[in-house]
Amino acid sequence: MALIKTLLGITPEFGKDCFLAETAVIIGDVVTGDGCSIWYGAVLRGDVHYIRIGNNTNVQDNAIIHATYQKSPTNIGNNVTIAHGAIVHGCTIHDNVMIGMNAVVLDEAIIESNSIVAAGSVVSKGTRVESGTVYGGIPAKKIKDISPELLEGQIKRIAAAYGMYSGWYKEV
C-alpha cells in the first residue's frame, strides 16, 4: 500500500478504481478523480497548498507534484499523463495533456488542453502552453501544432494504456 499521510488534519482522498503503487507517497491536501494511477516512487505533497487531479490521470514513476506555499496550488485535469521523473509545481494542466519524461512545469504555468510538453523541457513560471501544440526545450517554446494523429496516437492512447496497465497490478 502507498504511503498515505494525513497532515495538518487533512487526509488525501481518492476517486473510485484508482491504483496507488506501494512506494508512492501522497501527503495532505490531495484529491484525485476516478480511474487514476500513481506509480512507483511518485510523490504528491499537498502540504503547502492543495493538489487536485481529474479522472483517468496517470502520475508515473518518480514524478513529483507539489505547490507553492499559500500562493500557487496545482490543478491537473482529466486524461493527463505525467511521465516518468516529471516535476509539476504550482501550475494548471487542463485535459488531454502529456507532460513528457523529466519535464518540469513551474509555478503559474498553464498547459491548455490537447497539448504536449516534450521530454526534458522546462516550462518557465507563468508560461501559457497553447491548446493543440507541442512545447519543448529550455525554456520551453512552441515547436509545432498537434495533428489529429498525434492527439489520438500519443496523448489519448497513453492515458488509456495506463488505465489498462494499472488493472494488471490490481489483479496481483
Residue 172 has a pLDDT of: 62
Q: How far apart are CA 143 and CA 38, in angstroms?
A: 29
Cell of 155: 496523448
Cell of 120: 526534458
Is 49 within 8 Å of 88 (Cβ atoms)?
A: no
Reported as a pLDDT band with limits 50, 70 and 90, residue 137 is very high
Reported as a pLDDT band with limits 50, 70 and 90, residue 151 is confident
CATH number at residue 34: 2.160.10.10
Residue 77 has a pLDDT of: 98
Reported as a pLDDT band with limits 50, 70 and 90, residue 150 is confident
Residue 148 has a pLDDT of: 83
Average pLDDT, the chain: 96
10 Å CB burial of residue 168 (0-12, 13-18, 19+) is: exposed
Per-residue model confidence as pLDDT tens digits over 25-67: 999 999 999 999 999 999 999 999 999 999 999 999 999 999 9
The number of domains in the chain is 1
List alpha helices for 6-156, DSSP H. Answer: 148-150
* Domain boundaries, position 52: 3-171
Per-residue model confidence as pLDDT tens digits over 62-83: 999 999 999 999 999 999 999 9
Decide if pLDDT at 105 tops 90. Answer: yes
Place of cell 498547459: 111
